[in-house]
């Protein structure tokens, strides 16, 4: 049984991780902006603590814990990007991570490991195959992720093991990208976004949770891990496969200009991508359950 602090617990990934940790008998302390709301969503945690990186009343709750899993950060695709929105996306990741890392410096009995969410947005738009050792891109999200990981990495100066998990496009039937794509396909209106030639570095939600638990339980795992399937596909192939699994066609392309009208600069997240490979994740011997896109979609939509 491990004692774990979890932030970002009410998001798509957080809910799944919390459920798995509780299921296996770990003791979860949830740091949250809304205790009452979180208790309704995740009713079986051991403790709920009001958390805001501008406050310090939560720091003592880090004492004598085994690990911190840090997922908190504003939803990148929730709103149109303007300058204020972009500042909030950056601040929610950098300042939140910095507050947790600084708090570790005041602890008598520190957690042994700090596992922080990150994103494959680090690589920007790349036709070349990229791994955990590849350089960052130059766009807005690349800079956000670089700053985010830089803050998380500072915890290593305190002798704490750190893992930053660069998350790809998470496939989950009830939330995220896949959930938004299912309705058009149901009504025979499905198809790729933009040209369809952009890379789509996907991961099944169960493998993503598995990688977080793998990093938690294996003391020799540290640094950066890519959380994507070993077999990335292009957007066009993903949509063709989704159509096949759903027994629907995939020929209604959504033009790039339409996405840009709807989402502004944020549309680039959907119109670009990188061919990301989980080299270090495989070398660490994580056993992927879903490596082929058709098997993953069939499992999720059966």
Residue 50 falls inside a structural domain: yes
Segment 221-244, tens digit of pLDDT: 999 999 999 999 999 999 999 999
pLDDT of residue 254: 84
Is residue 80 pLDDT above 70, yes or no? no
How many domains is the chain built from?
1
From CA 20, how far away is CA 257, in angstroms rounded? 41
Residue 40 falls inside a structural domain: yes
The pLDDT of 95-124, averaged and rounded, is 96
* Residue appearing with tokens 């025979």: 188
Is residue 161 pLDDT above 90, yes or no? yes
Cα separation values, 10 from 30, 37, 197, 205, 260, Å: 10, 9, 33, 15, 29
Mean pLDDT score of the chain: 93
Residue 192 falls inside a structural domain: no
Is residue 264 pLDDT above 80, yes or no? no
Domain region containing 103 = 3-168+203-228
The pLDDT of 278-292, averaged and rounded, is 98
From CA 161, how far away is CA 226, in angstroms rounded? 17
pLDDT of residue 145: 96
pLDDT of residue 232: 95
Q: What is the pTM of this model?
A: 0.95
Residue 41 falls inside a structural domain: yes
Residue 269 falls inside a structural domain: no
Radius of gyration of the chain (CA): 19
Is residue 267 pLDDT above 90, yes or no? no
Residue 255 falls inside a structural domain: no
**Cα 34 to the chain's mean position, in Å?**
21
pLDDT of residue 302: 85
From CA 13, how far away is CA 296, in angstroms rounded? 17
CATH code (residue 73): 3.40.50.720
pLDDT of residue 262: 66
Is residue 83 pLDDT above 70, yes or no? yes
Q: Residue 216 CB: number of other CB atoms within 10 A? A: 21
Residue 119 falls inside a structural domain: yes
Residue 238 falls inside a structural domain: no
* % of residues, the chain, pLDDT over 70: 97
Q: Say if strands 202-204 and 233-234 run parallel, antiparallel, or are unpaired.
A: unpaired
pLDDT of residue 271: 80
């Amino acid at each position: 049984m491990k004692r774990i602090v979890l932030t970002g617990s009410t998001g798509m990934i957080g809910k799944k991780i919390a459920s798995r940790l509780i299921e296996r008998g770990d003791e979860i302390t949830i740091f949250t902006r809304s205790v009452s709301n979180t208790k309704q969503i995740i009713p079986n945690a051991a403790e709920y603590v009001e958390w805001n990186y501008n406050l310090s009343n939560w720091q003592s709750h880090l004492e004598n814990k085994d690990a911190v899993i840090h997922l908190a950060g504003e939803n990148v695709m929730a709103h149109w990007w303007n300058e204020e929105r972009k500042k909030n996306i950056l601040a929610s990741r950098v300042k939140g991570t910095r507050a947790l890392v600084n708090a570790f410096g005041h602890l008598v009995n520190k957690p042994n490991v700090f596992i922080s969410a990150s994103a494959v947005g680090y690589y920007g738009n790349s036709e070349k195959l990229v791994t955990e050792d590849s350089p960052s891109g130059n766009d807005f999200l690349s800079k956000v992720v670089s700053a985010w990981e830089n803050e998380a990495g500072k915890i290593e100066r305190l002798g704490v093991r750190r893992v930053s998990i660069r998350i790809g496009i998470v496939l989950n039937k009830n939330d995220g990208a896949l959930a938004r794509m299912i309705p058009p396909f149901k009504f025979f209106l499905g198809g790729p976004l933009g040209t369809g030639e952009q890379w789509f570095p996907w991961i099944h939600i169960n493998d993503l949770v598995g990688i977080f638990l793998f990093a938690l339980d294996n003391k020799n795992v540290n640094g950066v891990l890519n959380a994507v399937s070993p077999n990335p596909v292009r957007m066009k192939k993903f949509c063709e496969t989704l159509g096949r699994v759903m027994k629907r066609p995939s020929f209604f392309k959504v033009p790039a200009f339409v996405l840009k009208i709807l989402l502004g600069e944020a549309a680039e997240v959907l119109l670009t991508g990188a061919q990301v490979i989980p080299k270090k994740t495989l070398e660490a011997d994580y056993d992927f359950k879903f490596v082929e896109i058709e098997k993953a979609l069939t499992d999720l939509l059966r």
